[in-house]
Each structure stands twice: as C-alpha cells, then as structure tokens.
C-alpha cells in the first residue's frame, strides 16, 4: 500500500523530500558560529551538501564544512536538529530538501580550501547567526545553542 501511495504522489507531481547534511561550526573557546555565503545568492548559510558514499552522515557534513568553509575539527555523531528548504535547480524549478545538522567543534580554520574563492565566511554569536539565516528551523537550531557551553 505504501508503495502505491508513493507512486500515486509521484504521478501527481509530489516528489519525496531529498536529504542533505550540514554542520554548525562552533569555536570551542568563544561559542561563536561560523557562517559562509552561498555561491548563488550570497546569503548566509551553514556548510551543507549531499550525503557521500563511504561516509557517515556526520562525516559527510564534516567534509562539506572543509570544502565550503575551510573548517577542521571533530563532529558529533548525533544530530543537532533538522531544517527544510527549497533547493533551486538549474531548470528553474526547486526541490524540497531536509538538512540533517551536526555540531562541529572547530580546531582549525584554513585560508586555503576548495571553495575559498567562491564564498565569504564570518564568525557570529549564535543569536546573530540565527537572525542572518533564512530558514526558520535553522534559526531555531542556532537560537537553542547554549551561549555559555564553551571550553574554559
């Protein structure tokens, strides 16, 4: 029955939600969060991308953090939360995407990384970062970060 329902939805134009992974990159001494600009619109986002073969979801999120923001560090295996957005496609259409978010503790920030020439990055207090991102569920994730939960 579930299979038939899925096929029926596909015929009517409803696509299943795609999944991406993302990383909230946090400085362990200050509690600040690193945001990067998106390549297309220049809006502030967390590093995110598609799952990768041979990597766990958190491992893929850590790889995206490196590629998009030059960040290295340990990443939590447990999800911090999830948010949804519509990802624009080259065709002009958009697809619904749910991003599974993991917390990455930044131990190194490199100046040279794969997308360095395509993005800007900046540190923000979690509340300010929440004001700058567009997605309501991501705002909630950032607002829920404890500002005092940093290493002393």
Q: Residue 32 — very low, low, confident or very high, per pLDDT cuts 50/70/90?
A: very high
Residue 79 lies in a domain: yes
Q: What are phi and psi of 14, to 5 degrees?
A: -90, 120
Q: What is the pLDDT of residues 98-121, one digit of tens each?
A: 999 999 999 999 999 999 999 999
Tell whether 31 is covered by a domain: yes
Q: Is the residue at 65 inside a domain?
A: yes
Number of Cβ within 10 Å of residue 24's Cβ equals 25
Task: Report phi then psi at 118, rounded to 5.
Answer: -110, -10
Q: Is residue 35 part of a domain?
A: yes
* Tally of domains within the chain: 1
Q: What is the pLDDT of residue 1?
A: 63
Determine the Cα–Cα distance for residues 29 and 105; give it in Å rounded to an integer.
Answer: 10
For the domain that residue 109 is a member of, what is the CATH number?
A: 3.90.79.10
Give yes or no for a contact between 53 and 134, defined as CB atoms under 8 angstroms apart. Answer: no
Question: Residue 120: which domain range?
Answer: 15-143
């Amino acid at each position: 029955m579930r299979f038939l329902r899925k096929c029926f939805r596909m015929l009517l134009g409803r696509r299943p939600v795609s999944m991406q992974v993302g990383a909230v990159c946090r400085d362990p001494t200050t509690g600040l969060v690193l945001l990067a600009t998106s390549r297309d619109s220049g809006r502030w986002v967390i590093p995110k991308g598609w799952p990768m073969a041979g990597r766990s979801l958190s491992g893929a999120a850590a790889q995206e953090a490196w590629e998009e923001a030059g960040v290295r560090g340990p990443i939590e295996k447990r999800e911090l939360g999830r948010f949804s957005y519509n990802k624009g496609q080259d065709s002009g259409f958009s697809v619904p995407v749910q991003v599974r978010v993991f917390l990455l503790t930044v131990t190194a920030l490199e100046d040279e990384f794969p997308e360095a020439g395509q993005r800007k990055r900046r540190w923000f207090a979690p509340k300010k970062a929440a004001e700058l991102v567009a997605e309501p569920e991501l705002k909630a994730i950032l607002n829920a970060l404890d500002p005092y939960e940093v290493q002393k």
